[in-house]
Amino acid sequence: MDGEWLFEVGGKGKSFDQIKDLPKSYVAYDDVEIGSGNKIPLWLFGFLY
């Protein structure tokens, strides 16, 4: 996985357990306003389009 990022997408109740041991892994949450650490609000990906 060198040079790659891993994104797990889920709702407010999505946990980080599935990808906690993987480097460069993030969770994109729906229905949240503010993210922290490796938790990113899903709406922010709309700015990349």
Residue 1 lies in a domain: no
**Per-residue pLDDT at 1:** 53
C-beta of residue 12 within 8 angstroms of C-beta of residue 30:
yes
Residue 24 lies in a domain: yes
C-beta of residue 26 within 8 angstroms of C-beta of residue 8:
yes
**Per-residue pLDDT at 44:** 92
Residue 23 lies in a domain: yes
Residue 37 lies in a domain: yes
Residue 38 lies in a domain: yes
pLDDT in tens, 1-49: 566 899 999 987 888 888 888 889 999 999 889 998 889 999 999 888 7
Residue 12 lies in a domain: yes
Host domain of residue 43: 6-48
Q: How many domains does the chain have?
A: 1
Q: What is the pTM of this model?
A: 0.75
